[in-house]
Structure 1
């Protein structure tokens, strides 16, 4: 079997990506060396602008597996997946107007700090440990998967690319902190955009233009209409993508530490909200480009014969084979696409390293050792980032041995995790035993991966089975787009049930600013008499405050030391309490 190879120009382009990423990171690391603070390292001193934060938000979850997965999905099943873009509206609007105001006004560093303010320290630690566990596993996959695909297609040394990627990312993340991560994300986002754009332009030109691409796709039923089947067990429908996707977006852009940390690094709350808004058109462009690559790939193989390697390629290698075939006569462009692929990995991995170091420092170390000096805290934060980098390299090795893999508050959390693992593992076992991927045209086998860990390539899940599932198998066939909604519902229902059975808050006051007045916001346009009947009118009210937690947290007011002093604080609802108090007033965003 003859493999595609890199030219000298391709290697230069690829190495240039790594060198420039490292240079940007080291520039921010050594700029002001010796005067850095923990706030600068973990939160970019909370002085970032809207645009770099927006591009960093976009890059964080635009991983290499997404760059490979979306075009392969469109090639195999058509453009139904494009309707995921409908979920971006609510999936970004809700974080912008609910999550960001709450998190920003509480002046948090870790998203899990909120759990302690709303519940208690135990819940905070459970949330932090769950995040660390999930991200370490995820990073192993993100680090290993593109390197394996590249190795299979080009013969590029597997572990050399894994080590290079991991070491470069670890160095600039540990030394430069969040500011270095955000600015390298900006550069890497531009590389991802250019790499995908090059494939679209060259590919569409070779097959006769985008108009011809669309015509060929329409002729072969690859342009999907709106599928309104409400069945949640159908893999992709409008409802599954548009509404199930909202919960997935909320998990990524609403409460994920990597994203929350970027919101909180903004210089103002308004800048944080605007950065979230800016992600919406950017996400639509990225999704559209992924879909176009899939359609161009389909039209290309209607005109040109598929190579032996391509016809035998697994789903995770299919796009890379296409790119190497398409760009083989244009030195530098294959290297640009590989740089695009590794930019996706670098941005995702660096964000993970930084967020892992932050939650470990803020949630697991500082609460127990508050007397740390600034210098020692900085050294420890950098050591944590290095340590997580090495750990993720170890996870990449474990990923190589795993084969194919898919994808009370405390009690609620555990129940949600159990349900997630139950359905996820059940679907793996069921699909491995009884399902076969749909075959593409031209007689290609296009089988599922036999040697690549693809926990995040949810778009490559098989869609056909030998027989209609029943019983537990029916549950296991739940569309992956509903996983977040299903697990979130499990956490809420079980958590509320346990709270009711155990007495809930038991008279303990709510912390100010931890509750968002959703109902008053939604019904604010109703007549005042209706609002009063629905108990959602705006009013001011005294609220007891824990002065040990909030003196440095409240950005909109100053705590009072006696009852005769009133302070305007955050929106919320509460009950009459004792001194010290806040005066809670309805305010507009």
Structure 2
């Protein structure tokens, strides 16, 4: 390699005018998309259009948005750093993506699509009770607000440290732009802007990988260097749950985590519901899968090239060139691309495109949840659809400002990436467990759901807090060196150094913890990838136990649309004699639309009437004050005019 790089010349590269221009263009195009749809749909103001794109969106933009929503800047920065600091075990995550996408598309997407709810938390009220819905909504709002602030702040901090890119200028610019185009254009702006941002992310990652491979004399050479220094490692099949990244923790833990994101997360479900049919929503998931695997694989390959490039001059070990792993990739990019005007700007654009895609999807989800789950039930029960739409836009503006404000608070924390993933996983697990409980365990009741959620949340907060207090960390067992550095400094002679350990031939990772007499130390070492399945298991076990004590629900009396026939979905060709007992007593063959009931209070709980053609019904003006005695479930109802209003929520009978 020539001595053109900062590790040899002793000079950090900085942004040039072309870099700032390209970054500004990314923000301008994203804002322009929002403005375009705001003008185009200015005469069509309703919640269905704003929150679901009219439920007539094409497969491609939905697939691209599903692809990049949770591939934020944290992922784009963190995955290469993972390859650099540890080993390639994390690459098994691609297998977890396959499992998650199959489950999300085959099991969860048809379930929520058939319910036709605006907020996924409406389901929790239909299945359990209003307090359960409120608790879950509040957890999600807290989780999403915190995550947006991390996603907004982390890339700005990393770039500021290594390029001089203005920290709060970038935070403010990105926060304002994403808030504007999401509030103005709604779901259509989010989907098409995400499509553009997906292309920018691909371009940025490819530019870094190609140039990095050229500098290293080919990717194979970089692979060989990393392999010779214990970085290429795929065969850790340890069953120890404290192993940070074993095959089982990455594949099984990762499958649960990503299934929760693609199966029950409001942002992703809302996009699936924007498709005109279940089959197109499922197709969008499968179209996004190759792209998801490609982006993560590109990040892993960049991490390998990055390690090979710094194999003899670890920038964190020598003279504090950078202070933490969050800055490794930007430092590397400025080293290999800094001499080409504009290319660093492409990378920065890709990094912030990850932030834009995540924040816009999250804001759109909050715009659906808060008016429906918080404001309408408690403040304005008779609010019109037009007012709901306006309220959704106001919520987007408010929480865009909240994200910028919380970024200031996040700046006072330590490692933002570790904090982000820890907070998100701790809150995500109980939410996922709540949906699993409702969909697959018909005996569970509302008391079980409430107690299980609180217990699971408290348990995960305890583990996360104690892991932080006891300074649980993972040792990097492969050596790093500084003998190849040529930075001009007046320090002691450079020597070979290692970080927190020595080279071993066994497991690539180990977890260390400060000396403590706490007997629960082994629990604090739990791999963060197992947080979601652990929280889910705790919730389900506690909830079923409480339900047993307080009185289990009778599966025969439940609306079958509130219970997912898991084995029918996964194994539709299985004989009926096997499937029948696996349905746990829920009769999915009952047609509630034409069943006759003697009294209104004999109706199955919370059913949305539909006519013989499947068109949803609402109470007729002449029958709003009457009951349904002596007739079918559709008596006293009239079809909903889909052109003037969105489908009403399930009619609730208590």
Which TM-score tier does this pair reach, normalised by the shorter chain? 0.7 to 0.9
Structure-1 separation of matches of 2:612 and 2:370: 23
The aligned runs of 1:521-540 (5 Å cut-off) are 521=569, 525-530=573-578, 540=589
Change (3 A) 1:38 1:470: same
Change (3 A) 1:130 1:241: same
SS at match of 2:323: coil
Identify which of 68, 84, 92 aligns with 2:93: 84
Identify which of 573, 586, 609 aligns with 1:551: 609
CA contact (8 A) 1:166 1:393 kept: yes
Q: Shift in Å at residue 394 of structure 1? A: 1.2
Structure-2 separation of matches of 1:285 and 1:259: 20
In structure 1, the partner of 2:132 is 123
Identify which of 366, 371, 375 aligns with 2:382: 371
Identify which of 320, 325, 329 aligns with 1:319: 329
Change (3 A) 1:322 1:474: same
- The yes-or-no answer on 1:330 pairing with 2:340 is yes
Larger Cα Rg: Structure 1 or Structure 2? 2
CA contact (8 A) 1:437 1:464 kept: no
Q: Shift in Å at residue 301 of structure 1? A: 2.1
TM-score of the pair, normalised by structure 2:
0.79
Structure-1 separation of matches of 2:12 and 2:336: 14
In structure 1, the partner of 2:543 is 495
Q: How many residues align?
A: 555
Identify which of 408, 431, 446 aligns with 2:471: 431
Q: Shift in Å at residue 401 of structure 1? A: 1.9
In structure 2, the partner of 1:173 is 182
Change (3 A) 1:186 1:526: closer
Q: Deviations over 1:408-427 (max 9, x none)?
A: 11111111211221111111
- The yes-or-no answer on 1:292 pairing with 2:301 is yes
Change (3 A) 1:530 1:284: closer
CA contact (8 A) 2:480 2:498 kept: no
Change (3 A) 1:539 1:146: closer
In structure 2, the partner of 1:453 is none
- The yes-or-no answer on 1:340 pairing with 2:388 is no
Q: Shift in Å at residue 310 of structure 1? A: 6.8
Structure-2 separation of matches of 1:331 and 1:360: 44
Q: Shift in Å at residue 529 of structure 1? A: 4.9
Unaligned runs of 5+ in 1: 449-460, 568-580, 582-589
Identify which of 350, 361, 368 aligns with 1:351: 361
In structure 2, the partner of 1:96 is 105
Q: Deviations over 1:214-266 (max 9, x none)?
A: 22222222221322111111111111111111111112111111111111111
In structure 1, the partner of 2:485 is none
CA contact (8 A) 1:309 1:321 kept: no
Structure-1 separation of matches of 2:94 and 2:612: 36
Q: Deviations over 1:161-211 (max 9, x none)?
A: 111111111111111111111111110111011000000000101111122
Identify which of 438, 442, 449 aligns with 1:409: 449
Change (3 A) 1:202 1:398: same
SS at match of 1:366: helix
Q: Shift in Å at residue 71 of structure 1? A: 0.4
In structure 2, the partner of 1:477 is 525
In structure 2, the partner of 1:382 is 393
CA contact (8 A) 2:79 2:303 kept: yes
Change (3 A) 1:6 1:554: farther
In structure 1, the partner of 2:480 is 441
Structure-2 separation of matches of 1:290 and 1:80: 13
Change (3 A) 1:547 1:238: closer
Change (3 A) 1:276 1:305: closer
SS at match of 2:41: coil
CA contact (8 A) 1:147 1:162 kept: yes
Q: Shift in Å at residue 492 of structure 1? A: 0.8
CA contact (8 A) 2:470 2:513 kept: no
CA contact (8 A) 2:456 2:536 kept: yes
Structure-2 separation of matches of 1:173 and 1:234: 40
Identify which of 376, 380, 393 aligns with 2:404: 393
Change (3 A) 1:559 1:128: same
Structure-2 separation of matches of 1:35 and 1:229: 56
In structure 2, the partner of 1:66 is 75
CA contact (8 A) 1:63 1:142 kept: yes
Q: Deviations over 1:20-64 (max 9, x none)?
A: 111111111111213221111111111111111111011110111
Change (3 A) 1:361 1:539: closer
Structure-2 separation of matches of 1:553 and 1:394: 49
Structure-2 separation of matches of 1:535 and 1:547: 19
Structure-2 separation of matches of 1:205 and 1:523: 48
Unaligned runs of 5+ in 2: 1-9, 423-447, 483-495, 501-508, 593-601, 619-627, 635-650
CA contact (8 A) 2:312 2:480 kept: no
Structure-2 separation of matches of 1:65 and 1:172: 22
343-352 or 537-546: which moved more? 537-546
TM-score of the pair, normalised by structure 1:
0.87
CA contact (8 A) 1:105 1:554 kept: no
CA contact (8 A) 1:90 1:246 kept: yes
The aligned runs of 1:11-160 (5 Å cut-off) are 11-160=20-169
- The yes-or-no answer on 1:260 pairing with 2:308 is no
171-180 or 506-515: which moved more? 506-515
Change (3 A) 1:495 1:446: farther
- The yes-or-no answer on 1:421 pairing with 2:453 is no
216-225 or 533-542: which moved more? 533-542
